[in-house]
Amino acid sequence: MSTLTFQGAVGEVTGSRYLIEVDGDGGAHRLLLECGLHQGGGDADAANARPFGALAGQLEAVVLSHGHLDHSGLLPKLVREGYRGPIHCTRGTRDLLDIMLRDAAFVMAKDIEWENKWRKRNGKPPVEPLYELEDVERTLALCESHGYGQPVNLPGGTTLVFRDAGHILGSAIVELGIPSGGQIKRLVFSGDLGNPGSVLMKDPEKVFDADLVLMESTYGDRDHRPLDETLEEFARVLAEAHADGGNVLIPAFAVGRTQEILYHLSVLYHEGRLRQQMVFLDSPMAIRVTELYHRARKSLDSEDLKVLNIAASGDTSRYLPILRLTRTVEESMAINRIHGGAIIIAGAGMCTGGRIVHHFRYNLEKPNTRLVIVGFQAAGTLGRQLVDGAERVRVLGQDLAVKARVHTIGGFSAHAGQTQLIGWAGAFRNGPRFYLVHGEPGTQQVLKAALAESSIEAEVPAYGDRIEI
């Protein structure tokens, strides 16, 4: 019998990883589904540092649902430790990996440089990065991209098909046909399912046949607010910030969320409802991803692009005329001379580093500042502290009083909410086994109970659990 072992994103949202051992074609074959980075706190650092060991040399293929780092961010570490097989993904994912993994290696190198300076001063041994740029280069060379719906043959007689997950550019639902016990068993992994109410992406595809389903549960305990209500709240916060003379800080998730926020700012601008005169996109990675989205606009929802009349021509000169792209450190630092009237979108999305923390130093202690949280904040992150109402936070070695008003606007989520997850699960015929992944424990229990009310039985696996396929 073929088996699946849960090696990540169980009892947590990040660190996606599942080992599939296929009993087919005359022997055992090992495949890895996802290779994600753990995010949030010291436990995550320890989990990321854990060696792959012999597995790196035993694996014959890696399959990736999409490019977010919690699904892909340890790929270069796997390659650094000896993996040399193919990495199967979509074209959009391959293009995003080119941006995101290079950025991750760059940020890691900077962090390690500062860490080792501190260690040298304190008589401690230096530490090594998880991976370096040359590991990223080798990783990208192993990527093999495939279109949605295109069958792919994998080792052990396994077959692979990607379906559109509607989450970010290139995101996919993964369908695997796996030999097991003399039969072909169908395993479906949802990846991150998109929110049909969000803009730019197409709706997630429904899948009807499976024996085993791994389903994400990030927002399994609730539905998102309707988009029109979300946009009204967003517009109101921006108007209040303008009236108070303060800046608006928006921590940027470089892939997906930033492009969606820019879209909505553009709509508000053209409706005459955006009072601010300056919008800064202060994240080199988010700038590169935004440019990639522009080049790949044929993959986006054409109805959304028609709103701004750019679907056919690709002309973005009128998209958001007040947008300024700040690529250099000097341009980023210059923003801090602006004491009000600006919207600053800056990385990182969970406030764990990047340029947003520098803007915190200049803005977080001002009562007229608005901090707008537009994405999930993992436990242990600075973003989560702020969402949970921390009155003081530690930023770049400084203790800051949080006097800014913090607004959490969840309706922008690119993840399916509870009703959409149940609807997607309900499309499967013949009652496959469901396992809930990518969710915090309380959230998963709520979704499990909600699924049971729809006669869908689901299990919540633990780290290291091994099941037959």
Q: What is the per-residue pLDDT for 354?
A: 85
- The interaxial angle of helices 284-295 and 91-121, nearest 10 deg, is 170
Q: Do 235 and 168 belong to one domain?
A: no
Q: What is the per-residue pLDDT for 41?
A: 66
pLDDT tens digits for range 159-178: 999 999 999 999 999 999 99
Of residues 354 and 26, more confidence is placed in: 354
Q: Do 53 and 118 belong to one domain?
A: yes
* For residue 316, pLDDT beyond 60: no
Q: Do 55 and 171 belong to one domain?
A: yes
Q: Do 374 and 294 belong to one domain?
A: yes
- Mean residue pLDDT across the chain: 93
What band does 378 get if pLDDT is binned at 50, 70 and 90?
Answer: confident
Q: Do 339 and 251 belong to one domain?
A: yes
Q: Tokens 């959230």 belong to which residue? A: 443
Average pLDDT over residues 212-239: 94
Q: Which residues contact 468 (CB under 8 A, 6 or more apart)?
A: 1, 2, 3, 180, 181
Whole-angstrom distance, CA of residue 375 vs CA of residue 197:
15
Domain containing residue 295: CATH number: 3.40.50.10890
Total structural domains within the chain: 2
Q: What is the per-residue pLDDT for 462?
A: 96
Average pLDDT over residues 42-60: 92
Q: Do 186 and 243 belong to one domain?
A: no
Domain end (from 372, 392, 412): 412
The whole model's pTM is what? 0.90
Q: Do 187 and 64 belong to one domain?
A: yes
Q: What is the per-residue pLDDT for 314?
A: 44
Q: Tokens 């890691």 belong to which residue? A: 108
Average pLDDT over residues 228-234: 93
Domain end (from 369, 391, 412): 412
pLDDT tens digits for range 69-94: 999 999 999 999 999 999 999 999 99
Percent of the chain clearing pLDDT 70 (strictly above): 96
Q: Do 213 and 235 belong to one domain?
A: no
Q: Do 325 and 192 belong to one domain?
A: no
What band does 317 get if pLDDT is binned at 50, 70 and 90?
Answer: low
Percent of the chain that is helix, strand, coil (3-state, to 5): 35, 25, 40
pLDDT tens digits for range 238-266: 999 999 999 999 998 889 899 999 999 99
Domain end (from 369, 396, 412): 412
What band does 347 get if pLDDT is binned at 50, 70 and 90?
Answer: confident
Q: Give the structural domain span for 350.
A: 227-412
Domain containing residue 62: CATH number: 3.60.15.10
* For residue 99, pLDDT beyond 50: yes
Q: Do 33 and 162 belong to one domain?
A: yes
Q: Do 127 and 67 belong to one domain?
A: yes
Q: Do 429 and 401 belong to one domain?
A: no
Q: Note whether 167 and 197 are within 8 A (CB).
A: no
Which of 216, 185, 173, 150 has its CA nearest to residue 4? 185
Q: What is the per-residue pLDDT for 42?
A: 67
Q: What is the per-residue pLDDT for 311?
A: 39
What band does 318 get if pLDDT is binned at 50, 70 and 90?
Answer: low
Output the CA–CA distances (angstroms, integers) from residue 375 to 225, 261, 265, 291, 411, in the order listed: 13, 11, 16, 21, 9
